């Protein structure tokens, strides 16, 4: 379980996180969405001991990040935004070195299991620096799985990957959930949050403006959207709370208007636009 309570973090005059609170139950994938500079990475850094919050508390599986850092290190795995592999070493050697550094028990068995978990066993002798971006990401995931963490933090895991490779990565992340792990991820891809996450939070300028299941977020914004062209010919979207409201609006907007179900992107755009205007 991840329990974040009233977390605030400032960098000089910038308030990166302002009184952020939420709870994520065990075994879920939670995704944090937000524009650049919203505070997503700062939250991951606080939870993974890379930076200290100014106030508030963060507990992972009941342990406090400030008071029990050694115990926290034993239960978390972190995949940062940047690919920090040893580019000169092979896939296997990368895992061996990391496993030894982290005193992973039964290391050879664990390496084999982790490699098979992300389907990279066939490439074990390839030099990491020569791998494609997608394979490097898979190696990073194998590395994090070596120590069998209870909670895994993924900072923008699929950034820069093509749609097919992204799907493979999603399946690996779903496998982490099936294995009972809790996954906390940040992403800019709303489709990724919709496809993977049991719970989605939206951060904006350090404020958590909403958090809940994708279904709950869609329902609270309004279940239907009318797409129509305005008088300048620009495509517009308007969220409606009822089918009757949507039908009436579509009728007013003319024959080119159409009605569809609300998606997470509509919710994201509506909430962030509301708060920024
Ligand atoms: P992105 O999507 O671009 O990665 P983010 O949502 O992860 O952004 P953060 O990296 O957490 O956002 O940054 C939140 C705010 O804190 C930004 O205004 C950023 O410039 C600022 N910030 C982050 N790290 C530092 C730092 N070490 N020193 C000063 N300011 C920082």
pLDDT tens profile 182-197: 999 999 999 999 999 9
Query: How much is the average pLDDT of 224-234?
Result: 91
pLDDT value of residue 276? 62
* CA 54 – ligand 1 centroid, Å: 15
> b/e for 229-266, b at 16 or more Cβ within 10 A?
eeeeeeeeebbbeeeeebeebbeebeeebeeeebebbb
Q: Is the CB of 201 under 6 A from ligand 1?
A: no
* CA 272 – ligand 1 centroid, Å: 18
Residues 77, 95: Cα–Cα separation, whole Å: 14
Indicate if the pLDDT at residue 198 is higher than 90: yes
Percent of the chain with pLDDT over 90: 75
pLDDT value of residue 275? 65
Ligand 1 pocket test: which of 38, 155, 268 has the largest number of ligand atoms within 8 Å of its C-beta? 38
* CA 235 – ligand 1 centroid, Å: 32
**Atom of ligand 1 lying closest to residue 9 CA:** 16
Q: How many CB atoms are located within 10 Å of the residue 205 CB?
A: 18
- Please, which pLDDT band fits residue 168 given cuts at 50, 70 and 90? confident
Q: Is the CB of 77 under 6 A from ligand 1?
A: no
Quick: pLDDT tens for 67-115: 999 999 999 999 988 888 999 999 999 999 999 998 899 999 999 999 9
**DSSP strand E in the chain: where?**
2-11, 14-24, 29-33, 55-60, 63-64, 76-79, 151-155, 182-187, 199-204, 207-212, 224-229, 235-240, 258-261
Ligand 1 pocket test: which of 20, 40, 81, 202 has the largest number of ligand atoms within 8 Å of its C-beta? 40
The answer for 160, left when phi > 0, alpha when psi is -120 to 50, beta otherwise, is left
Question: Which domains, from first to last, does the chain contain?
Answer: 2-212 (3.40.50.300), 217-276 (no CATH)
Provide the token pair at 133. Answer: 């971006």
Q: Which residue minimizes the CA distance to atom 19 of ligand 1?
A: 37
pTM: 0.90
């Amino acid at each position: 379980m991840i329990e974040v309570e009233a977390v605030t973090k400032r960098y000089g005059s910038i308030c990166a996180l302002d009184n952020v609170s939420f709870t994520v139950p065990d075994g879920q994938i939670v995704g944090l969405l937000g524009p650049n500079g919203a505070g997503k990475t700062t939250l991951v850094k606080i939870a993974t001991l890379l930076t200290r919050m100014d106030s508030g508390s963060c507990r992972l599986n009941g342990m406090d990040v400030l008071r029990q850092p050694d115990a926290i290190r034993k239960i978390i795995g972190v995949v940062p935004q940047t690919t920090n592999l040893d580019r000169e070493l092979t896939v296997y050697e990368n895992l061996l070195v990391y496993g030894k550094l982290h005193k992973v028990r039964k290391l050879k068995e664990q390496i084999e299991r982790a490699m098979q978990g992300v389907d990279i066993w066939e490439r074990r002798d390839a030099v990491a620096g020569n791998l494609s971006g997608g394979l490097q990401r898979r190696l990073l995931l194998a590395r994090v799985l070596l120590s069998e963490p209870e909670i895994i933090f993924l900072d923008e895991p699929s950034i820069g990957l093509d749609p097919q490779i992204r799907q493979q990565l999603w399946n690996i992340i779903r496998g982490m959930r099936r294995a009972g792990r809790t996954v906390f991820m940040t992403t800019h891809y709303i489709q990724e949050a919709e496809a993977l996450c049991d719970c989605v939070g939206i951060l904006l300028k350090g404020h958590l403006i909403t958090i809940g299941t994708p279904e709950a977020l869609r329902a609270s914004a309004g279940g239907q959207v009318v797409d129509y062209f305005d008088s300048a010919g620009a495509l517009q979207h308007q969220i409606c709370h009822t089918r009757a409201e949507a039908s009436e609006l579509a009728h007013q907007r003319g024959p080119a208007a159409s009605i569809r179900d609300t998606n997470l992107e509509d919710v994201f755009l509506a909430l962030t636009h509301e708060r920024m205007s």
